[in-house]
Chain A
Amino acid sequence: MRHETWADRIYAWMLVLYPRRFRRQYGLDMVEMFRDARSDCARAGRSTFNLWVKTIRDLVLNASIMRMAPFMKRLRGVGRNRHVGNRSPFDARIVMEAMLMDIRYALRTLWKTKGFTAIAVLTIAIAIAANSSIFSVINAVLLRPLPYPDADRLVVLWTQFPAGGTTTFPVSQAEYWDYREESEAFQNMGAFSVFTATVTGNGNPERIAATGASATLFDVLGFRPQLGRVYTVEEDFPGRGLVAVLSHGFWQRRFAGDPTVVGRTIMLEGVSYEIVGVMEDGADPPGATTDVWLPLAFDRSQITNRSGHWLTVIGRLADGETFESAFAELETTVVRWSDVYAGLHTSDPVNHPLTLVELDDELLGGVRPAMAVLAGAVGLVLLLACANVANLLLARGQGRSREIGVRAALGAGRARISRQLLTESLVIALLGGGLGLAAGSWGTALLIHMDPTGIPRILDVGLDVPVVVFTAVLTLVTGVVFGWLPALNASRVDLATVLSAGGRGDSHGRETRRTLNGLVVCQMALAVVLLIGSGLLIKSFAVLQRVDPGFDAAGRVAFDLNLPGRDYRDLDDMLAFYDGVIDGVEALPGVSSVALVRNLPLRTSSRQEGVLLERKTNSVNQGSYPVEYQAVSADYFATMAIPVVRGRGFAEMDRRGVPTVAVINETMARTYWSEDEDPVGWRLRPLFAWRDADWVTVVGVVGDVRHGGLSAVTKPELYLSMRQALGGIGWMRSASIVVRAGVHPEALSAGIRNVVRAADENVPVVNFQSLDGVVTDTLTQQRFIMLLLALFGAGALAIAAVGVYGVISFSVARRTHEIGIRMALGANQGDVLRQVVSGGVRMAGLGAAIGVGLALASSRVLESQLYGVSVRDFYVFSAGAGVLLVISVVASLVPALRASRVDPNLSLRSE
């Protein structure tokens, strides 16, 4: 027997949307089915986010169809009846007329109470606007299908290095080719890798994004050329592949959309390629953009090594295959390979497995938790707004009980009165919804303006049909949600009481007051949940900002250099250039030290490769230990203030011709050596050096640098001297220069540009930025989510405060008479004040308690967004509850003061 979980219970609860008979008959089976789907997700290790989206869409769609069915039948029946000349009680015309009458009447009453209407409409508008803008983002980023035909059949292949904590890493050529040949689960498979290249000839030299892609990739992704053709499988081979396909954007930009471009040539890295085609607009490699497509052009028969991981591989599932069946096939493939290719750095199930990820999970999986948090938060804001407006309506309904009583006395039935009141709610909702949609599109623009880099497809966000439909449906639902309780309540009038007691129906009044108080407590609880949520994010952000990146960012700037391959053919050329730049910048006034680093921490992602460790290599894991691989100049550690913990850093003597040395970070020392071993003096051999490189000796250990992000886990990192760099000549063509200076970074900009121009006028200075800026940029997404949630929290607090204020004022106004009598009997101002405020505080206390409980139950959804803060952080929880209590004291103080100034004479005489 499986356990009933929260998720099942939530789904079961949502089934109330279906008609009761259907629910009774099938509800249990539907829950069962949902549970099966959930456990299948769990078994496949997939997130249930998509399942929830699909299930909710299914629920809303089918429930509304079923709810509408009788109505539609009736409408059809009406048409038939009229045809026969029969007059049915459901004549559409009568229904319409009554509805119009209700709407006219609603508009008139709302116009009479402009203040009330304005507050209600504004509250709803703000909440709808927030929901509408967040939905715009979710719609564009998550719900809109990926721009590939049948995108749900696309799967990404990654390799993994569990020892180094790497779960998705590019695939090697041999792995890609063999898997493509052997797999039967895929209809076709393609590979690509994005890099930068310099384009020369006809126009200024320019750095562009190029994608090396197998000819099969176009078929897999369903891309078609707009002009000419794509290259063929035959051209995707060494020696035959000097052909290029331009992207639509690049064609427009550099060739002004010239239709005769096909057949001409383009110079990339000094090599001439024939342009065979122009790609259609919007055709980009998944997760990247490109200006030009080039063949990968490799020959499997020439590749003996299974190392060198740099390809992203995408496959399209064959008909009849599923993700699960492909995964099962892959697992057996890896087991077979570990046997066949033993000793060749082969994939194996334990140390070097391969894995599959569905393309939409790959591209969007990272932002789903954040989006879920935001959706939850705006949902709470909307609930809060509903509770608030329901309160206002209830309070107003009290004041109108006389009017309603009169209407009832004149013969209006309960249903008729409820419908009238519900119409008023719907009119308020529609006004608020319209305003909200407008404000929402403005809010969406603001969201994009906040520029949350790292959220894919954020630029596609905008107002479109799904957003408008969502907002419209949400508006109607909102109207019903906040309208039904007041409508029901007000229509339940007791004629005798209302008409005789001078409009102050008492027993009924008490019940309404209880409902009012209950709603305020709900608002408080929701506000506390939002306050705690935003509090956790704010605290997490503060912790993140204090995280030591492992280097000193203050007073340092960095910029990137990319050398054109045509002019820099070997390492000596490059070193000569880099030395010239380093010496030149060092001579600038105010500069204290300059260093080079291949991959700037927090900006350029590291290259990951395997190394063999002397004396640790054995046949079981083939000795392959994954490391992040870096090359730096001798002054790098000093310039960045990265401490040398053991041994030494690099020196000028570590150059070509003398034995190669390496420096490792503390994580690598800790991960691959035991505590009583000193890694200094050990030797290792990088697998990425295709030459028969000598063993490399570890000479020092340095402090960890958080290369992948402030909240990322530090991985084993291996530094080599840039003068002894291994791993491909082209690799050192890109590097960052770090400058430590006592002067303002901007003041250095011009001097640095001059130095670089003097060294080579074809090399531009790019990404010039202070290291502080580099660090801050990594927090953009966290800041985005934190700011939004803080905004929602503040809004929630404001709405809740208005709620308390409204309810206390209302009760004070109703109790003027009673307070007058008390004061006439000797109660002093302090007593009255205390009594009124304590009423507010009691509600706030209850609300805060419920809110804390709700937050405890639900804050786990924030887990993925938090760093260094427990989801049950005591201080944040207390602060959330505390803020609410303080605000509610303040909010009830105003009406309390008014009450304490009641003049007994006046209040008693008003009878």
Chain B
Amino acid sequence: MTPARPADFLPLKPATFLVLVVLAAQELHGYGIKKEVGKRSAGRIDMEPGMLYRLMARLVAQGIIAEADRRQVDGEGDERRRYYRITDLGREVVEAEAARMVHLADSRDVRDLAHASRS
């Protein structure tokens, strides 16, 4: 089997992309990921447990994320919680996706369209 290349995974679905963006910044547990993704999407992507962990299972299987060694951050944390971190491959994937999106959006007519929808 040939090792996976980042480009094989593109384009990412919005939820997947946001999860990777969130994990690229910090290691987090399930509910933390849900909240961060909710915040970044202005509440539009609401990940319930089934959707989230199905995605986690797939991303782990693809080697894009992995379970973090750490299971507890502070006194409040529950040791049963599983934390996730992004892998090197995952980082390459999210970087490639981010670059793809920036490239797509980086033209005057796209910016005009976006502006028109806001006003």
Residues of A within 8 A of B (CB): 1, 18, 22, 25-26, 28-30, 32-34, 36-37, 54-55, 57-59, 61-63, 65-66, 152-153, 319-320, 322
Contacts and interface: CB of A to CB of B under 8 A. Distances in A.
B70 interface: no
B34 interface: yes
Nearest to A153: B43
B82 interface: yes
B39 A322 contact: yes
A363 to B, nearest CB: 19
A28 B79 CA distance: 11
B78 A54 contact: no
A34 B49 contact: yes
Contacts of A28: 80
A29 B42 contact: no
A30 B80 contact: no
Nearest to B80: A28
Interface stretch (B12-20, B52-60, B87-95, B103-111): B52-60
A58 B31 contact: no
A29 B51 contact: no
Contacts of B50: 18, 30, 58-59, 61-63
A28 B57 CA distance: 14
Nearest to B53: A26
11 contacts: A18-B50, A22-B53, A29-B82, A30-B30, A30-B50, A32-B30, A33-B30, A34-B49, A37-B34, A57-B48, A58-B50
Contacts of B56: 26
Given A22-B53, A57-B48, A320-B42, 4 more contacts: A29-B80, A58-B49, A152-B43, A153-B43
Contacts, number: 64
A32 B53 contact: no
A317 to B, nearest CB: 8
B81 A29 contact: yes
A33 B52 contact: yes
A63 B46 CA distance: 17
B39 A33 contact: no
A1 B43 CA distance: 29
Nearest to A30: B49
Contacts of B29: 29, 32
Nearest to A58: B48
B43 A37 contact: no
Contacts of B81: 29, 32
Contacts of B42: 153, 319-320
Contact of B78 (A32, A66, A152): A32
B39 A29 contact: no
Contacts of A18: 50
A445 B98 CA distance: 52
B33 to A, nearest CB: 9
Among the interface residues B50, B52, B53, B80, which one has the most CB atoms of the partner chain A within 10 A? B50
B57 A25 contact: yes
Nearest to A66: B54
Given A22-B57, A320-B42, A322-B39, A29 B48 contact: no
Contacts of A34: 49
A320 B43 CA distance: 8
Contacts of B46: 54
A61 to B, nearest CB: 7
A55 B49 contact: yes
A728 B56 CA distance: 63
Interface in B1-49: 29-31, 34, 39, 42-43, 46, 48-49
Interface string B67-103: 0000000000010111000000000000000000000
Nearest to A18: B50
Nearest to B118: A319
A64 B118 CA distance: 38
A320 B38 CA distance: 10
Nearest to A31: B49
B31 A33 contact: yes
Contacts of B30: 29-30, 32-33
Nearest to A61: B50
Lowest 7 A-B CB distances belong to which pairs? A58-B48, A62-B50, A30-B49, A36-B31, A26-B53, A58-B50, A33-B30
A180 B51 CA distance: 38
Contacts of B31: 32-33, 36-37
Nearest to B40: A320
A59 B30 CA distance: 16
Contacts of A1: 78
A536 to B, nearest CB: 33
Nearest to A17: B50
B80 A55 contact: no
A62 B57 contact: no
A58 B51 contact: yes
Contacts of A22: 53-54, 57
* Max chain A Cβ within 10 angstroms of own Cβ: one of B46, B52, B54: B54
B80 to A, nearest CB: 6
Contacts of A33: 30-31, 34, 49, 52
B16 to A, nearest CB: 15
A66 B50 CA distance: 10
Contacts of A153: 42-43
Contacts of A36: 31
A61 B48 CA distance: 11
Contacts of A30: 30, 49-50, 53
A319 B42 CA distance: 6
Contacts of B39: 320, 322
B77 to A, nearest CB: 11
Contacts of B51: 58, 61-62
Nearest to B55: A62
A28 B54 CA distance: 14
